[in-house]
Amino acid sequence: MRAKLALEDGRVFTGFSFGASGEREGEVVFNTSMAGYQEILTDPSYRGQIVTMTYPLIGNYGINYEDVESERPQVSGFVVKECSRIASNWRSQKELGRYLRENNIIGIEGVDTRALTRHIRLQGAMRAVISTDDLDDRSLVNKAKSSPGLLGRDLVREVTSDRVIHWSKQGRYRVVVIDCGVKYNILRELVNNECQVIVVPAKTKADQIRKLRPDGILLSNGPGDPQGIPYVVNTIKEFIGKMPIFGICLGHQIIGLALGGTTYKLKFGHHGGNHPVKDLCTGKVAITVQNHGFCVDIDSLNKKEIEITHINLNDNTLEGMRHRRFPLFSVQFHPEASPGPQDAQCLFGKFIDMLKQRHA
């Protein structure tokens, strides 16, 4: 079945469907990872986005149910050069196309993904429509232009949990995870570090969190614009200086806003498993997984209170910070994703050290 991807600036790419049929809108971005497509598809941070893979062959090791990062795929659409019909891996349980069809996700193959990626790099991430139903270029471009985009939009409400979840009741330290779209592997890492893990919806009030008697708070990753979720910013403000806080990705941006900083939209974002980040405290460079379209403005932060700890070596944007007086730190990248493979896992140990000091 023929399918098309139309961008708001009038550019149209034609291919063939290998997933569900229908029509979806979203912001089109590219991801530079060579593997990990299953984790990418199920990452809640991709809510509202159509993901293009730069690596040409996707699907060759199939799909399994152990490596998912949420209960279902979250992307609005999936664009590849070629989808493998052969799933060659002993852990594979089904092939990629079938997985997308079962979860009503549109996939397009046969697209010139190099041209699409270059276009996004030059023009920036933009609104788009992916369709197997409407194949009229002008109609699709108009639909892309009228789609909502990400600025100021609250996508967290679409991916956050709807109830309090006791993910793990065993452990020395009790951690409340404010779920803005948390990846499962963040929860797994906390469990591996002897934590009781309680996941709460993003709209949970500070008083409700206090009743859970946490030793610390982890503010999770999630989709979209941090300025679209002021309720989470207001909640975290009430805990700054009162208990250890660790922010990841969107959580990092929320903390930046809570500390009086500002955020802005990147031209085409950071999406992939090969982003170099320098730790300014040690001088070491980590290879990191990233997935974000917004960033905290370094110049907006109060340097007397906030220390810059990590910098992106591709564009010198902010990747990490910590408070000089309070037990609070955050990173823009994903330490739980381990592309290095363990370059940044020590950050969970840093959080545990803060919890130990609170216990002492």
Omega cis (within 30) before 341:
yes
Cα–Cα distance, 164 to 175 (Å, whole number): 13
* Active-site residue flag, 249: yes
Domain 156-359 falls under CATH 3.40.50.300: no
Q: By three-state DSSP, how is residue 354 classified?
A: helix
The conformation of residue 24, written as its DSSP 8-state character, comes to E
Q: Are 263 and 295 in contact (CB under 8 A)?
A: yes
Q: Give the pLDDT confidence score for residue 359 in this predicted structure.
A: 72
pTM of the model: 0.96
* Active-site residue flag, 95: no
Q: Give the pLDDT confidence score for residue 340 in this predicted structure.
A: 64
The conformation of residue 75, written as its DSSP 8-state character, comes to -
Angle formed at CA 158 by CA 108 and CA 109, multiple of 5 degrees: 5
Q: Within 13 Å of residue 25, how many CA atoms lie on the same side as its CB?
A: 15
> At which residue do the structure tokens 């199939």 appear?
62
Choices 1.10.10.10, 3.90.1150.10, 3.50.30.20, 3.40.640.10: CATH for 2-146 = 3.50.30.20
> At which residue do the structure tokens 């991807």 appear?
5
Q: By three-state DSSP, how is residue 299 classified?
A: helix
Q: Give the pLDDT confidence score for residue 31 in this predicted structure.
A: 97
The DSSP line for 115-132 is HHHHHHHHH-SEEEEEES
* Active-site residue flag, 27: no
> Which residue among 83, 180, 249, 295 is the active-site one?
249
Cα–Cα distance, 134 to 202 (Å, whole number): 36
Q: By three-state DSSP, how is residue 110 classified?
A: coil
Least Cα distance to 334 among 262, 286, 269 occurs for 286
Give the chain's count of helices (H) and strands (E). Answer: 10, 19
**Segments in the chain below pLDDT 70:** 339-341, 360
Q: Are 80 and 113 in contact (CB under 8 A)?
A: yes
Q: By three-state DSSP, how is residue 16 classified?
A: strand
Q: Give the pLDDT confidence score for residue 343 in this predicted structure.
A: 72
Sequence spans of domains, the chain: 2-146, 156-359
The DSSP line for 142-200 is HHHHHS--STT---HHHHS-SS-EEEE--SSEEEEEEESS--HHHHHHHHHTTEEEEEE
Least Cα distance to 247 among 316, 339, 180 occurs for 180
Q: Which two structure tokens, joined as six digits, stand for 148?
A: 């909502």
The conformation of residue 22, written as its DSSP 8-state character, comes to S
> Which residue among 39, 69, 95, 336 is the active-site one?
336
Q: Give the pLDDT confidence score for residue 360 in this predicted structure.
A: 66
